Amino acid sequence: MAQVITRPAPAAPRGRPRGRRAWRDILVGWSFILPNFAGFLLFTIIPMLTAFALAFLEWDSYGDPEWVGLDNFARMLGDENFHVALRNTLFYAAGHIPLTLAAALGLAMALNRKLRGVPFFRTAAFFPYITSLVAVAVVWNMLFNPTAGPINQVLEAIGVSEPPRWVASKDWAMPAVIITSVWRDMGYYMVLYLAGLQTIPKEYYEAARVDGANAWQRFWGITVPSLRPTTFFVAVMLTIQSFKVLDLIVVMTDGGPGRSTLVLAQLVYREGITEGRFGYSSAIALVLFLIVLTVTVVQFRINERRSAS
């Protein structure tokens, strides 16, 4: 979001409109906005506000809605599925965020040079991101096949005698999902990092070289600090993306084996759409939203403090 509002629009007039010209502008302005706004209001804003209200209601597909205050939230405290889903979501985020960030930065560093063929490599690195999730999940499920999958064959070849059973085991299913998602998403964030790298003046590096700094020192002394705005933006995006993870899990493991990869968004789906418990599912959705919001606000604060110092 940080980059959305880069250019301010010319200010809209405040106060009451005066004269025919002003009324005409209102009509013309709204006529442009209305086709999109009607759909947006009906299918995004209203459901959003409804979700908020539903969290305080008891309502399933058969009965009438009934106000129950915070009961839905109290119920969550005792719901083991919720605890498991929350833990799994945190696990996923803890793996997905740092690994994707590191992989994206690594790719961007490697591809930020003027060599013939670099555009091809960039394309290759980006392509997984726009490949459909179903294809990604099917292929990786087979790569992760415990007995004859290529990944375990490689692991055995390099001396791992009992490689993990990946998606077939409760302990390794989530790491498998994380690896798949890092592979899929790194190209997207690489594009953002490449844009960031291009804003660093070359003179910085030349000056550091003259002062005798080696590549490692140049990386930590120049590249990392200069990329802070990009890293901040990438971290926020990754956080939001991680906490709402849904489709990859649904397609790849469907929450299994057991509940080992059940995540919050999936619980919302199951409770709300499969089971028809609209109130309870909306309460979980609200918690999900609040977590995302809190983490984002905290990241903003940390970024502010660091930029100030």
Partner 1 sequence: MTALVRRVLAYAALTVMAALVLVPFAWMLSSSLKRDNEVFTVPIQWIPNELRWSNFVDIWERIPLLTYLGNSAFLSVTITVLQVLSGSFAAYGFSKVRFPGRDALFLAYIATIAVPWQAYMVPQYIMMQKADLTNTHLAIILLQAFGAFGVFLMRQYYLSIPDELCEAARIDGLSEYGIYWRIMLPLSKPALASLALLTFVNTWNDYMGPFIYLTDNDLWTVQLGLRSFIGQYDAEYAMMMTGATLSVLPILAVFLLGQRYFIQGIATSGLKG
The residues in 42-101 that bind partner 1, with binding defined as CB under 8 A, are 42-48, 50-51, 54
Least Å distance between CB 186 and partner 1? 8
Least Å distance between CB 66 and partner 1? 16
Looking at 158-166, 189-197, 210-218, 220-228, which segment touches partner 1 (CB under 8 A)? 189-197
Q: Could you give the residue ranges of the DSSP H alpha helices within 198-227? A: 202-210, 215-218, 224-226
* Cα–Cα dist 250/135, whole Å: 13
* Cα–Cα dist 46/281, whole Å: 17
* Residues of span 136-175 touching partner 1 by CB under 8 A: 136, 138-140, 142-143, 145, 147-150, 153
Nearer to partner 1, 250 or 309 (CB): 250
* Residues of span 221-280 touching partner 1 by CB under 8 A: 233, 237, 240, 243-244, 246-247, 250-251, 265, 268-269, 272-273, 278
Buried b / exposed e along 141-175 (16+ C-beta atoms within 10 A): bebbbeeebebbeeeeeeeeeebbbbbbeeebbbb
Secondary structure letter of residue 170 according to DSSP: T
Instruction: Output the six-digit token pair for 114.
Output: 């003027």
Buried b / exposed e along 200-237 (16+ C-beta atoms within 10 A): eeeeebeebeeeebeeeebeeebbeebbeebbbbbbbb
Nearer to partner 1, 199 or 217 (CB): 199
Least Å distance between CB 12 and partner 1? 4
Least Å distance between CB 15 and partner 1? 7
Tell me the per-residue interface mask from 283 to 302 with partner 1, x by CB under 8 A, - otherwise.
--xx-xx--xx--x------
Least Å distance between CB 200 and partner 1? 16
E strands, the chain, in order: 57-58, 66-67
Backbone angles phi, psi at 6, to 5 degrees: -75, -40
Contacts of 1-8 spanning 24+ positions with Cβ under 8 A:
1/236, 2/229, 2/232, 2/233, 2/236, 3/233
102 is a contact residue toward partner 1 (CB under 8 A): no
Instruction: Output the six-digit token pair for 53.
Output: 């209200």
Least Å distance between CB 90 and partner 1? 16
Q: Which of 4, 77, 158, 308 binds partner 1 (CB under 8 A)?
A: 4
Tell me the per-residue interface mask from 110 to 139 with partner 1, x by CB under 8 A, - otherwise.
xx-x-x-xx-xx-xxxxxx-xxxxxxx-xx
Least Å distance between CB 258 and partner 1? 19
292, 239 in Cβ contact below 8 A?
yes
Nearer to partner 1, 105 or 107 (CB): 107
* Residues of span 10-49 touching partner 1 by CB under 8 A: 10-17, 22, 25-26, 28-33, 35-40, 42-48
Least Å distance between CB 195 and partner 1? 5
Q: What are the respective helix, strand and coil percentages of the chain, to the nearest 5?
A: 70, 0, 25
